[in-house]
Amino acid sequence: MAGSERRIVALGGASLLPGSTDGPLWQHLLDLTGEAYPRVCFIGTASGDDPGYTAAFYGWFARRAQSTHLALFDRRIGDIEGFLLEHDLIVVGGGNTANMLAVWRLHGVDAALRRAWQSGVVLAGPSAGAVCWFEAGSTDSFGPALGALRDGLGFLPGSFCPHYDSESNRRPRYHELVASGELPDGYAADDGVGLVFSDTTFSEAIAAMPETRAFRVERGPSGIEETSIKPRLLRA
């Protein structure tokens, strides 16, 4: 059963494809539930419920957990809140963050996720599945140029930037957005790195591979102040 502690894991980027090195991150999400065979739901709205992405989810999780998914483009679930509350872990996939949030609000998924979080269901995801939990974040939802998304769910304060090491424009653009005040202070994470939040407080950074980092990014009196956070390396 889901616990009473509210927990969110924001992943800078993580793959479910065979051969990926991100397995320890996914396993850690399962471990956080405290269940031997947890109930896990995948929400792939950001990719338009891409069947390949959903299949990749089942390919990794179905052997390790009771796995289901919530589709909204071919919706088959009537009581979304009741359905999500039946799970121990909800994994949100990457894709277009702005589109995902708009569809969620249309179907009431935003309110259902808040209830699930308040009930102790672990919430997690990479990229769009990480940005969404914050008040704001950097996004390519509106085109190739990175911009500010300022209408996140707001479960967590501040902003978030994923793919900090894998896309060359992510870091300088996030600095620009925070320095200008378009985005509030926040966190950034390399691919393969997760930020764990207990309630709304940052708890620790975790990583699947060495030499990866998370960062606290803040606007200071002399410009951007970036503080490196060394993650705890998870066992493979």
DSSP track, 157-189: EEEEE--TTTSTTHHHHHHHHHHHTSS-SEEEE
Within a 13 Å sphere around the CA of 115, how many CA atoms are in the beta-carbon half? 13
Q: Is 127 a catalytic residue?
A: yes
Distance CA 235, CA 156 (A): 27
Give residue-wise pLDDT tens across range 131-155. 999 999 999 999 989 999 999 999 9
Catalytic annotation, pick one of 15, 67, 127, 138: 127
Q: Which residues pair with 113 in a beta bridge?
A: none
Q: Locate the domains of the chain by residue range.
A: 7-233
What are the pLDDT tens digits along the chain (236 aa)?
Answer: 466 789 999 999 999 999 999 999 999 999 999 999 999 999 999 999 999 999 999 999 999 999 999 999 999 999 999 999 999 999 999 999 999 999 999 999 999 999 999 999 999 999 999 999 999 999 999 998 999 999 999 999 999 999 999 999 999 999 999 999 999 999 999 999 999 999 999 999 999 999 999 999 999 998 999 999 999 999 87
Catalytic annotation, pick one of 28, 69, 87, 163: 163
Token output for 39: 């109930």
Do β-strands 156-161 and 186-189 pair in parallel, antiparallel, or remain unpaired?
A: parallel
Distance CA 111, CA 214 (A): 29
Q: Is 87 a catalytic residue?
A: no
pTM of the model: 0.97
CATH number for the region 7-233 comes to 3.40.50.880
Do 193 and 207 form a contact (C-beta atoms < 8 A)?
yes
Give residue-wise pLDDT tens across range 5-39. 899 999 999 999 999 999 999 999 999 999 999 99
Do β-strands 89-92 and 122-126 pair in parallel, antiparallel, or remain unpaired?
A: parallel
CB count, 10 Å around CB of 28? 18
Using DSSP, state whether 105 is helix, strand or coil.
helix
Distance CA 116, CA 87 (A): 8
Backbone angles phi, psi at 15, to 5 degrees: -110, 145
DSSP track, 31-90: HHTT-SS-EEEEE-GGGTS-HHHHHHHHHHHTTTSEEEEE-TTTT--S-HHHHHTT-SEE
